[in-house]
Amino acid sequence: MIKRAIAFTTLLMLILAFGFTQEKSPNLIAIKGANIIPVKGEDISEGIILIKDGLIEGLGKNIDIPPEARIIEAKGLFAYPGLIDGLCFLGLSEISSLRSTIDYREIGRNNSQLKAVEALRPESVHIPITRANGITAVLVAPTGSLIAGQSGLIRLVGWTPEEMIIKSPVAMHIAFPSIPRRRRGRETAPPEESSKRIEELKKILNEARYYGKRKEAARKNLLLAYPDFDESLEFLLPVVKGELPVIISVHADKDIKAAIKFVQEEKLKAIFFGVEQAWRVAEDIKKAGIPVIFSSLYGMPPKWEDGYDGLYRNPSVLHKAGVKFAFSSSSSSLAKDLPYHAAKAAAFGLDRKEALKGVTIYPAEIFGVDHLMGSLEKGKVANIVLADGDILELRTNIERVFIDGKEVDLSNKYTELLKKFKKRN
Amino acid sequence: MRFKKHLSFICFFIALLLLASSLLARVDPAYALVNCKIIPVSSPVIVKGVIIIRDGLIEFVGPAEKIAIPEDAEVIEAEGLVAYPGLIDAHTNLFIELPKEEPQRRRGVGMAPQEKESGRYPDVMALKLLKPKKSTMESFHKIGVTTVLAAPGKGIFAGQSVLLNLNGEKPEAMVVRNPVALHINFSTARGVYPATVMGTMAFLRQSFMDVNYYHSYKSFLAKKPKGIKRPEYNPLLEALFPFVLEKKPIIFTCRNQEDIKRALRLIDEFELNGLLGGVNEAWRVAENLKKAKIPLLVSLHFKPPYTSIYVNQGEEMKEKSEKEIYPANTAKLQKSGIKFAVTSYGLMKADSFLKNIQKAIKAGLSKEEALKALTIHPARILGVSNIMGSLEAGKIANVILTSGEIFEEKTRVEKVFVDGILFKIKKPPKKAKAAALNITGKWKGTVSGSMGELDMTIELEQVENEVTGTISSSFGKWEISDGFLSGNDLTFTISAEIMGQSMEMEFSGKAEKDLIEGTITFEGGSAEIRATRIPEERSQRREP
Amino acid sequence: MKKKITTLILGLSFLFIPGFASGQDLLIKNGTILTVTKGTIPQGDILIIKGVIKQIGENIEAPKGVKIIDATGKYVIPGIIDSHTHIAITASNESSEAITPEVRIRDVLNAEAPAIYTALTGGVTMVHTMHGSGNPIGGQNIVLKMKWGHPSEEMIVHEAYRTLKFALGENVKQSNFFTTTSRYPQSRMGVNAIIRREFLKAKNYMEKRDRYLKAKKSKKSSKNLIPPRKDLRMEALADVLRGKMVARCHTYRADETLEFINLSKELGFKIACFEHASEAFKITKELVSEGIGISVFLDNWAYKIEAYEGIAYSAAYCTKKGVLVSINSDSSERIRRLFNDAAKAMKYGGLSEEEALKLITINPAIQLGVEKIAGSLEVGKHGDIAIFNEHPMSAYTRCDMTIIEGEIYFDRAQYLKEREEMEKKKKAEKDKKKKGGER
């Protein structure tokens, strides 16, 4: 009897002791006093965001904060959802002139078997620099071939590639011809005919369709010859079934129109990337219901006739036509500049709120992860950025970043080197 | 067996050539062109006049009343025709065959600096590089050009040009003046200094400076040979003496307005006797040119240079500039009061030259000025105005007879006199049907006649009705010119060359999809040709 | 020869001297004027007469016939100066040899390059167009005003220092080419050795000339004396040694930068500025004590291994330590975003608005030797001005007008109007075609 009593008391004491030493629940955080820009819904001045187990438990002007919650004072700061990059090469490219550090290109024409996330380097110096500017999730994609491969959405924190993956594959990447650039002293090459590529693509997709159908038929009938494994077609099966969307890099107005026809004829779920001359065919894109991802706005318009501000005007024209859009950095070393592409579009006619959506909720919707991220809403993942001003502004400092409800270290190669050499000077 | 075949062929041709050469030793007839309208250029128009040509010179130009037709003159009835001075194309690189490109010098390793290599030396003579082709000459005659300045094309110091009268095929007989000028291009070398135009400018400046230095060194040495080390002989600098020291003419070819400015700076800095060629953008710097008073040889090549603002502002603008803006170059120069010659430099065919002259006139160049720019202006600029450039007694008999006013669409050049030698211009077939097929490609043919058989490979290229090409056989490569395919009727001229002697043969026959059959006729005989098409080799398929 | 050059220059000088030939009159009214050196005027006017700023203040009365620009709600800053570009030229690097100081960028100008217009859309009025970085000793650079539509000789800024391009590191070693090359030098040792060699050769050249002149003057018979040959390459380096030209050196790594400073001291030439200098933050001590400025990217980095330690904080940090810093574009695309790059120096390093603006105005002007005529809005300086619709340090800003010496070279409103007309014309043509088809 006594033995039982002692055991019970010890147990009780342990529980109480545990209770005392356990000050606050690490998984319960309340960000207090920030001006909340949820992106969906009204802004909340000096509100509260409650985070529990990595998700947003609640947000509002006056919500109850559980006593065990860790309080983060955020008066005077602005709370934004973590920004989402529509396409970049973070983790796949370290030094652009050193081939040994580049892993987003492969040789070959049909590389549908490649998965970008399998080449990620979590220790890339560019990742901490990028998340230190408020970007919390990015799409990493392969490029360079006709069918470049499968992209994936990753979070900008994690020790291993697996820990970084949010969703893979997100889409299959296909390239339409690019517009040849004028080079000093040389004649510009004539633009490649997209019809040739479309023919090639249709052939491959048809082969994939048949391959899939044959597999299905053979599964039901033992006597029918089962097709040999064909790597070039196997990974296209979800594409032709309409389950996996394609992201098509397309640039010239004629090619965009041809691409629209192509995806409609092939019954593909599509997103367009690049679209530098989309403003010329905005109505067609809207009618087709295809969302677009802009490539970096740090580029010259492909043709003089597009006007010096061709790329800058593009987003506002598409938005007015009703097309859904997202911004991208299309970079690794300059992925941190994602918000400034959005701001540049705002400088040239895009509504500022829409610009913010182009780096938050719109990419989330386009990639099918808007139930997880893209805005500050109850139930979504707690990717939260605390900034001392407008997150799209150049001089704004990012004070704190949370990914999946956990605060991330904002130190990076820039800050480390500065610290080191401050000691010398 | 084969040797016997060839032997009979050779004998046959030698016989023909002996016959032909005996004909060449004749004295050229004197001609009297009567009843034509005469535009002498340097004096007023003569409504109905006479031109008397003897011994390669003009004996008389004037109204019919003023002269009696000489007894020995062959009378050429020219009623309804117009007589002009033979046109002068003052800058062309046609007729020149360039030596093969020298293999690039590999860059050396080690501390020693590279030797500056910049193209050929200035003493390369166009005369030595001449490869006059009958078809080219005829194409110039067809548009009324009797005289050309043949200039070497490549290299910074490209060489020295020669002024030719297109009177036949022997280069020496064609020379009017040699050399005429040193040609300088702002070109660059690949992989060797200078590889950029700024390097070329530095190289030119250093070269001109060095000429002066080298010359003064040598003069110093000449005065006091003892005790002074001789300078190393420098062939480049020696070759430049006439142009930098004696101020013989230098023609700078300018591809764009900046080249013009570069040339003007060099001419000014080193007090050169400079002329500018190319200059199809001259109107952009008309003020500078007017002030500098530099003679211009304006090319009627309308393609805008890649540096031009018109090229970088969209496709539409680029096309517009080639169709409207650049053709108006000469018109604008005329308006600025600048005198110039027009040339075919940059154009590949004489035909295009005429077309572009017409375009330039349409764009605003006056017809009179166009004529002057092809006659008296180039004659003056090239320093031969005392012997050509207008129809005057005593000048060289370069005369053309046209069916109407020169440069008009319908006007044809009917007869051409070069150095008093008459050339009749072939009339194009009156009714030309569209070509029934395209005979471009390689053909395997046999010529058979009284002298035996000869195998040959024929390479043809057809653009619309016109056919050109080559015939290769054991005798070498012969040129096919003046080819015309109307329906299935094929005619062309073969410029044969057998052991250094040239001869013309005319082909007339029919062309089908894979078979060409017909007759070739030449002085003294004829032969049959039969050729079948050689199928295209299938290109290798690559593994994906 | 010299006489000829002087007469040429004098003869054409009326074309060259800016402000007298092409300068125009303009009055900018009611904008927020950021003078850069003399503070901000919240609602101010600037009067430009014959291309030169005559008056800055409030409520300036417009003289008769002077064009007026209404800058209400807009920001007026000095025209931006990009101190390192390769625009408006048809060739940038004489790569056939490693040492080419005799070549001059002014010989390959192209006034019709579209990049000039692009620069204007970014508020840039003056650029330092340089020889490329492929040679340890490159060519002679030039400073140009972006006078789009004018002939090339009218763009040259003659007040600027004469500068010679030097380069160190990977580019001159040609180590990033697709195939290996065989042009010496291929190592950093070789780069320093070749620069030393050329300067010693130049010194030798100068000495020979001095000896000749001395011998000529001496009583002993000089009849056997041949003057030394004038060599354009050696003359260029001699000018650097004489102080008539200053060195602007492309460098990345801190170690090679320091070694170049040593070389300059050993050989006796002046370095005006280091280009790129991505590791400058490591050696601010030396840069300050030597008085050498830097012209850098704000955050373009990691494209080569030698640029792998370039940090975005460098520009601001070096500024705070007392180094004269300017920001450049080295790109015909980035040239239109220099003001965005300058703004980043506020985020990465905490510079104030004014300090950030200096990075693209007065600082490059001082480095180029044109601070008397450009770089800030002060009476007596040229009327080179850029007008923005938002504060130039905001990400939402856009350049609406660019003015050089009182003449408007870029006007966004005009540009939009022309585009509208062009679109209307195109539509009318399309409709005509349709109607023609219907018939």
Domains annotated for chain B, with CATH where assigned, are: 28-85+389-427 (2.30.40.10), 89-98+118-386 (3.20.20.140), 431-533 (2.40.128.120)
pLDDT of residue C14: 43
Query: Per-residue confidence at B226, pLDDT binned at 50, 70, 90?
Result: confident
Sorted by sequence, the CB contacts under 8 Å of residue C86 that are 6+ apart come out as C92, C129, C130, C132, C330, C332
pLDDT surpasses 90 at A168: yes
Of A329, A353, A373, the position where a domain reaches its end is A373
CB within 8 Å: A109 and B544: yes
Looking at the 3D structure of chain A, how many domains does it have? Answer: 2
Q: Greatest CA separation found in chain C?
A: 100
CATH code for position C419: 2.30.40.10
- Residue-wise pLDDT for A210-233, tens only, equals 999 999 999 999 999 999 999 999
A238 and A308 assigned to the same domain? yes
Question: Are residues C201 and C108 part of one domain?
Answer: yes
Which domain, by its residues, includes A47?
24-81+374-425
A55, A128: one domain: no
Q: How far apart are CA B137 and CA B173, in angstroms?
A: 14
The confidence score (pLDDT) of residue B473 equals 87
d(CA C139, CA C105): 7
Torsion sign, CA atoms A390, A393, A394, A395: negative
Residues A391 and A283 in one domain: no
pLDDT for res A73? 96
Using pLDDT thresholds of 50, 70 and 90, give the confidence band for residue B132: confident
Q: C383 and C339, same structural domain?
A: no
Is position A5 within any domain? no
Is A184's pLDDT higher than 70? no
| Cα angle for residues C409, C415, C418 (degrees, 5° grid) | 125
Asked if residue A302 and residue A344 are part of one domain, the reply reads yes
Q: What is the pLDDT of residues A356-403, one digit of tens each?
A: 999 999 999 999 999 999 999 999 999 999 999 999 999 999 999 999
The per-residue pLDDT for C13 is: 46
pLDDT average, residue stretch B333-361: 94
Residue B487: φ, ψ to 5°: 70, -115
Subunit contact B199:C100, Cβ cutoff 8 A: yes
B436 pLDDT more than 90? no
pLDDT of B196 reads 94
Contact criterion met (CB < 8 Å) for A185 and B306 = yes
Least Cα separation, residue A419 to chain B (angstroms): 43
Q: Which tops the pLDDT comparison, B15 or A223?
A: A223
Cβ pair C104:B201 closer than 8 A: yes
Mean pLDDT value across residues A196-208: 94
Do C124 and C58 reside in the same domain of the chain?
Answer: no
Q: What is the pLDDT of residue B103?
A: 54
The pLDDT tens digits for B88-122 are 999 998 888 766 655 555 443 332 333 344 555 78
Overall average pLDDT of the C13-20 stretch: 44
Which of B229-243, B479-493, C163-177 shows the lowest per-residue confidence on average (mean pLDDT)? Answer: B479-493
A33 with A139, same domain? Answer: no
Least Cα distance to A347 among A284, A384, A390 occurs for A390
Q: Note whether C192 and C169 are same-domain residues.
A: yes
Q: Which residues of A touch B317 (CB under 8 A)?
A: 304
The answer to whether the CB atoms of C396 and A413 lie below 8 A apart is no
Element housing A9 (H / E): helix A2-21
- Which of A96, A300, A333 has the CB atom closest to C333's CB atom? A300
Residue for token digits 């870029």? C410
CATH number at residue A200: 3.20.20.140
Residue A46 lies in a domain: yes
Residue C147 to chain A, least CA–CA distance (Å): 17
Give all strands of the β-sheet with B157-160 in edge-to-edge order.
B157-160, B182-185, B250-254, B274-278, B296-299, B340-343
Domain membership flag for residue A387: yes
Q: Do A215 and A104 belong together in one domain?
A: yes
Give me chain B's average pLDDT, please.
86
Of C374, C389, C406, at which residue does a domain stop?
C374
Element (H, E) at B286: helix B286-292
The per-residue pLDDT for B474 is 85
**Chain A residues with beta carbon closer than 8 angstroms to that of B306:** 184-187
- Residue where a domain stops, chosen among C322, C344, C374: C374
Check whether residue C231 and residue C120 sit in a common domain.
yes
**Is A13 domain-assigned?**
no
Beta bridge partners of B46: B38
Same domain, C190 and C264: yes
Query: The CATH number of the domain where C151 resides is what?
Result: 3.20.20.140
Question: Residue A311 falls within a domain, yes or no?
Answer: yes
Domain membership flag for residue A242? yes
By three-state DSSP, how is residue C89 classified?
strand
The DSSP H or E segment spanning A237 is helix A237-240
Domain of residue C13: give its range.
1-79+375-439
Global ipTM: 0.92
Mutate to test the interface with A, among C348, C353, C359, C416 (most CBs of A within 10 A): C348
**Are C123 and C50 members of one domain?**
no
Mark yes or no for CB contact C103/B198 under 8 Å.
yes
pLDDT tens by residue, A96-108: 999 999 999 999 9
Question: What average pLDDT does this structure show over B461-477?
Answer: 85
User: In chain B, which residues have their Cβ closer than 8 Å to the Cβ of A280?
Assistant: none
**Per-residue confidence (pLDDT) for residue B430, from 0 to 100:** 64
**Poorest-confidence range of C16-20, C105-109, C141-145?**
C16-20
* Residues of chain C positioned with their CB less than 8 A from the CB of B202: 100, 102-104, 107, 232-233
Mean pLDDT value across residues A240-247? 96
Residue B224 has a CB neighbour count (10 Å cut-off) of: 10
- CB C172, CB C134: distance < 8 Å: yes
C59 and C108 share one domain: no
Same domain, C266 and C224: yes
DSSP-assigned letter for residue C137: E
Residue C436 has pLDDT above 80, yes or no: no
- A412 shares its domain with A292: no
Distance CA B503, CA B483 (A): 17
Tokens of B329: 């170059």
CB-based contacts of C434, cutoff 8 Å, min separation 6: none
The H helix count followed by the E strand count for chain A is 13, 16
Report the length, in residues, of chain A.
425
Average pLDDT, chain A: 93
Strands C40-49 and C52-57, bridge-based pairing: antiparallel
Q: What is the CATH number of the domain that holds A51?
A: 2.30.40.10
Give the pLDDT confidence score for residue B106 in this predicted structure.
47
Same-domain status, C385 and C269 = no
Residue B498 has pLDDT above 90, yes or no: no
Higher pLDDT: B522 or A355? It is A355
| A residues 87..126 contacting B (CB < 8 A) | 109
10 Å CB burial of residue B110 (0-12, 13-18, 19+) is exposed
Unique residue bearing structure tokens 């087709």: A288
A114 and A68 within one domain:
no
* pLDDT for the residue C241: 98
Q: What is the percentage of chain B residues whose pLDDT exceeds 70?
A: 87
Q: Which of B258-267, B380-389, B472-481, C169-178 has the lowest average pLDDT? A: B472-481
Q: Do both C127 and C211 map to the same domain?
A: yes
To the nearest whole Å, the CA of A109 is away from the closest chain B CA by 8
Query: Is the predicted pLDDT of residue A250 greater than 90, yes or no?
Result: yes
Chains touching A (3+ CB pairs < 8 Å):
B, C
Q: How confident is the model at residue A262 (pLDDT cuts 50, 70, 90)?
A: very high
Mean pLDDT of B304-333: 92
| A193, A272: one domain | yes
Q: Are C402 and C409 in contact (CB under 8 A)?
A: yes
Residue B342: band (very low, low, confident or very high) from pLDDT cuts 50, 70, 90: very high
Q: Is residue A14 part of a domain?
A: no
Q: For residue C89, give both structure tokens.
A: 């030229």
Domain boundary among C357, C374, C391: C374
| Closest listed residue to residue B184, CA positions, set B302, B277, B285 | B277
Assigned token pair, C144: 């140009």
The reply to whether residue B314 touches residue A303, judged by beta carbons under 8 angstroms, is yes
DSSP B311-367: TSS-HHHHHHIIIIIGGGHHHHHHHTT--EEEE-TT-S-HHHHHHHHHHHHHTT--H
Co-location of A365 and A387 in the same domain: no
Provide the pLDDT confidence category of residue C295 given band limits of 50, 70 and 90.
very high
In this prediction, residues A111-138 reach a mean pLDDT of 97
Higher pLDDT, B435 or C361: C361
> Does A219 lie in the same domain as A268?
yes
Is residue B244 predicted with pLDDT exceeding 60? yes
Q: How many domains does chain C have?
A: 2
- Other CB atoms closer than 10 Å to residue B426's CB: what's the count? 12
Q: Report which listed range, A287-291, B11-15, B486-490, is most confident.
A: A287-291
Of all residues in chain B, the one with the smallest CA distance to C2 is B269
CA of B256: which chain C residue's CA is closest?
C110
Q: Are C250 and C195 in contact (CB under 8 A)?
A: no
Contact between B350 and B140 under an 8 Å Cβ cutoff? The reply is yes
Strand boundaries in B407-514, DSSP class E: 413-418, 421-424, 441-449, 452-463, 466-473, 476-486, 489-498, 501-511
Same-domain status, A390 and A315: no
> Residues C55-83: what's their mean pLDDT?
96
Q: What is the pLDDT of residue B97?
A: 73
pTM of the model: 0.87
pLDDT at C16: 43
| Interface residue A187 vs chain B (CB under 8 A) | yes
In this structure, is residue A9 part of a structural domain? no
Mean per-residue pLDDT, B139-151: 95
Q: Does C279 lie in the same domain as C134? A: yes
Q: What is the share, in percent, of chain C residues with pLDDT greater than 70?
A: 93
Per-residue pLDDT of A328-351, as tens digits, reads: 999 999 999 999 999 999 999 999
Could you give the CA distance from residue A271 to residue A263 in angstroms, rounded to a whole number? Answer: 10
Which string of DSSP letters, residue by residue, matches C330-350? -STTGGGGHHHHHHHHHHTT-
Which residues from B are below 8 Å from C when comparing CB atoms? 106-111, 113-114, 188-189, 191-199, 201-202, 205-206, 209-210, 213, 217, 220, 224, 227-228, 257-258, 261-262, 265, 268-269, 271, 285, 307-309, 312-313
Give the separation between CA A325 and CA C316, rounded to whole angstroms. Answer: 35
